[in-house]
Chains A and B, each alone.
Chain A
Amino acid sequence: GQQVMQIPQYQHVQEGEDFTTYCNSSTTLSNIQWYKQRPGGHPVFLIQLVKSGEVKKQKRLTFQFGEAKKNSSLHITATQTTDVGTYFCAGLGGAGSYQLTFGKGTKLSVIP
């Protein structure tokens, strides 16, 4: 079945440093979604990428979807303590697939 791998599993950064998490799928994706889960909370939708090579920005967050639609990344510039949480990518399989498969997530800790 479809697998979505996400690295790294954990990342500790000093406040102000940049952070990147990577997501790779074993199959071509229709789209990829990113979610953030704060400690003790539930996943919250951040963004969806659909087109090959798509890049989207939300303030300090930059999301990319690979040309082959099998990989994606989330980059945070100048991390803040409010960025703490686990970031999940979730891939929707090819045509006719309704299953959204989540990666295991990257847990970000920000040291003030």
Chain B
Amino acid sequence: DSGVTQTPKHLITATGQRVTLRCSPRSGDLSVYWYQQSLDQGLQFLIQYYNGEERAKGNILERFSAQQFPDLHSELNLSSLELGDSALYFCASSGPSSYNSPLHFGNGTRLTVT
């Protein structure tokens, strides 16, 4: 158990809809990362937050947004969903020294857009 909690585990929704994925980092971790993993694809970096502030941004679509709350949990909002958004979305957290700390991944949320 990595200590990172992601909910829900599975999400099935229709095109055009909006969903929210939730992540609780390991106790004490200040950084939260979001990654997208499509079938047989690598991990595409979406965005990183550190102690409530956006720290790095990857290939995140404008239809997607995220935030990290004062209690350090994070939410990833996906709107105007398309079939191509179907993927496994991972949240990861890292320790206080996020520059060199390894990432601890949650079990992921599998999103299916129909």
Please list the residues of chain A having a beta carbon within 8 angstroms of any beta carbon in chain B.
6, 30-31, 33, 35, 41-45, 48, 50, 88, 90, 92, 97-105, 107
Separation of A101 and B56 alpha carbons in the complex (Å): 11
Contact A100 B103 (CB under 8 A): yes
Task: Report whether over half of chain A's contact residues are helix, strand or loop; otherwise say mixed.
Answer: strand
Contact A102 B45 (CB under 8 A): yes
Contact B2 A99 (CB under 8 A): no
Known: A48-B102, A99-B58. A42 touches B108 (CB 8 A): yes
Q: How many A-B residue pairs have CB under 8 A?
A: 59
* From B2, B48, B102, B106, residue with most partner A Cβ within 10 Å: B102
Contact B90 A99 (CB under 8 A): no
Q: Which residues of A contact B108 (CB under 8 A)?
A: 42
Which residues of B from 80 to 99 have beta carbons under 8 Å from A?
90, 92, 98-99
Contact A42 B107 (CB under 8 A): yes
* Closest chain B residue to A43, Cβ basis: B105
Please list the residues of chain B having a beta carbon within 8 angstroms of any beta carbon in chain A.
2, 33, 35, 40-45, 48, 50, 55-56, 58, 90, 92, 98-100, 102-108
Q: Which residues of B contact A90 (CB under 8 A)?
A: 43, 103
Contact B104 A98 (CB under 8 A): no
Separation of A100 and B94 alpha carbons in the complex (Å): 12
* Closest chain A residue to B90, Cβ basis: A42
* Closest chain A residue to B33, Cβ basis: A100
Least CB distance from A37 to B in Å reads: 9
Q: Which residues of B contact A107 (CB under 8 A)?
A: 40
Separation of A104 and B38 alpha carbons in the complex (Å): 11
Other A-B pairs, 4, CB within 8 Å; known A33-B102, A99-B58, A102-B42: A42-B106, A42-B107, A44-B2, A99-B48
Q: Which residues of B contact A30 (CB under 8 A)?
A: 99-100
Known: A42-B107, A98-B55, A104-B42. A50 touches B102 (CB 8 A): no
Q: Which residues of A contact B35 (CB under 8 A)?
A: 102
Known: A99-B48, A99-B58, A100-B33. A44 touches B42 (CB 8 A): no
